[in-house]
Structure 1
């Protein structure tokens, strides 16, 4: 979805996100790469929530998967970006280059599905993303999902990546407010098990019923 410009951002090129209404925000690559630029408090809290075999959808460079593996938790990352997957593997995180909606190993047997860093908004369709997460879970499993604290409802817009020398194609993305959690969970057959503020961010645990 992000394409070559996303890969180049991971390799160090300065990039940003432009919304179709003119808003521009920095692409938070340093936090995705982990280490000094990461939100360590958030990462620790999210990893603590992951129980049993965990699959991270849209894992990026794999910082959360690497942390899980270091703790002895079986984990797998999934991402479309070849650069992201290579970075994940180089950090010790098992990762597949694949669309999250394509067939994935262990479907119906994962204890935890992880959707961090706004990935519930992939494709501008959070219901589709959460339905996919629910398909991957075993009975009694959970989906650990980051939501947005800055908005109410679901904000679907067209966005694109830009750099000083390249403008990427438009694609749909959704920002999903934490107020939407009960309704979204019910629509995809999950139940809200808990809501967890972490600094300025928030994560919900959605259990398979």
Structure 2
């Protein structure tokens, strides 16, 4: 890639509050080359910034069976689980295989189709859309960098406080580089494809997410790292008390 700077940062995955509407990410994540990558289960696939910076997306891991770090997250899930930006559904399918109540949501038709083929339950929707069970979910997942959905972590956390029950559990994956706190505009692209439509995204290390969560009224329950990946567990405030 002539002129592009590739950074060896961890893979991420794809996604209005009434007060702060956000640009929709749906078209970018619903179109090629993302759709093609999910259908084949292979990359390479990247998020490209306007200056040529590239973030690799770990399509092969998303399409594989859950790894030990994933299984640690699944073991922490409580009750009914909503996987936000479920991608090809490895976590939803694994939870379903354990007899757990789980639903994945994703803006990509290909992601939803692949999740269903794996035996998981999934709905094509944005987290900012009306969702089944709003206010009653026990656990929500924001894995593979999905804390970046919408490019506004505060707005996303406010929305998650309404999706979860009071005291519900949010398990989020962060960038395993503590000083990362970015708001960027990116496009999805393959190695030879024209980039898709631009959309807002965010990248947060654990300290940045904890600052944001506390400002929004969330309680920090735990933080841990495993296999080069970083995670945070948060407890939801009452929806009306979210920062």
Counterpart Cα distance in 2 of 1:99 and 1:207? 22
Aligned to 1:20: 50
Are 1:192 and 2:220 an aligned pair? yes
Instruction: Out of 53-62 and 194-203, give the one that drifted further.
Output: 194-203
Check whether the contact 1:134–1:189 (CA below 8 A) recurs between aligned residues: no
Counterpart Cα distance in 1 of 2:203 and 2:73? 19
Are 1:34 and 2:61 an aligned pair? no
Aligned to 2:162: 135
Counterpart Cα distance in 2 of 1:181 and 1:159? 20
Counterpart Cα distance in 2 of 1:55 and 1:139? 15
Are 1:181 and 2:209 an aligned pair? yes
Check whether the contact 1:134–1:143 (CA below 8 A) recurs between aligned residues: no
TM-score (norm: length of structure 1): 0.92
Are 1:63 and 2:90 an aligned pair? yes
Check whether the contact 1:181–1:192 (CA below 8 A) recurs between aligned residues: no
1:14 is displaced (CA, Å) by 4.1
Structure 1 unaligned segments of length 5 or more: list them: none
Paired residue total: 206
Aligned to 1:4: 31
1:64 is displaced (CA, Å) by 0.4
Check whether the contact 2:186–2:200 (CA below 8 A) recurs between aligned residues: yes
Aligned CA RMSD, in angstroms, stands at 1.5
Instruction: Out of 65-74 and 158-167, give the one that drifted further.
Output: 158-167
Counterpart Cα distance in 2 of 1:86 and 1:19? 28
| SS of match in other structure, 2:83 | strand
* Cα distance change on mapping 1:95 and 1:196 into 2, 3 Å: same
Are 1:148 and 2:175 an aligned pair? yes
Aligned to 1:87: 114
Check whether the contact 1:42–1:198 (CA below 8 A) recurs between aligned residues: yes
List per-residue Cα deviations over 1:53-80 (Å, max 9, x = no partner). Answer: 0001100111101111111110000000
Counterpart Cα distance in 1 of 2:64 and 2:156? 24
1:123 is displaced (CA, Å) by 1.6
Counterpart Cα distance in 1 of 2:121 and 2:221? 28
